[in-house]
Amino acid sequence: MNKMTREEAIKNPNATLVDVREPYELETEGFVEGAINIPLGEVPERLEEFKSFQKPLVVFCRSGNRSGSAAQFLEQNGLEEVVNGGGFNEVNAVLNS
């Protein structure tokens, strides 16, 4: 199977969008409608929850650094169809295009 592009993953109707920023960042910076907030520090302890989410799994943060770490961790723990969506502004731009 070809790896889908970031844009294809974000626009996929089955995608689960996960924002790995801290809750206060969503309040002050804005958020993506319908995304689940799981701060990066909680990702390892919530691995089973990630496994139950619909795929593709799009993780994002403010700039793409933390979501890159989250995506790498999830893939190392056996999850497939994990995409680093980058920053939340980029995800919103794709969703609204």
Residue showing tokens 């799994």: 57
The answer to whether 14 is a known catalytic residue is no
Rounded distance between C-alpha atoms, residue 68 and residue 37, angstroms: 16
Phi and psi of 12, rounded to 5°? -65, 125
Peptide bond just before 44 cis, omega within 30 deg: no
The active-site residue out of 38, 61, 74, 83 is 61
Half-sphere CA count of 57, side-chain side, radius 13 A: 26
Catalytic residues: 61
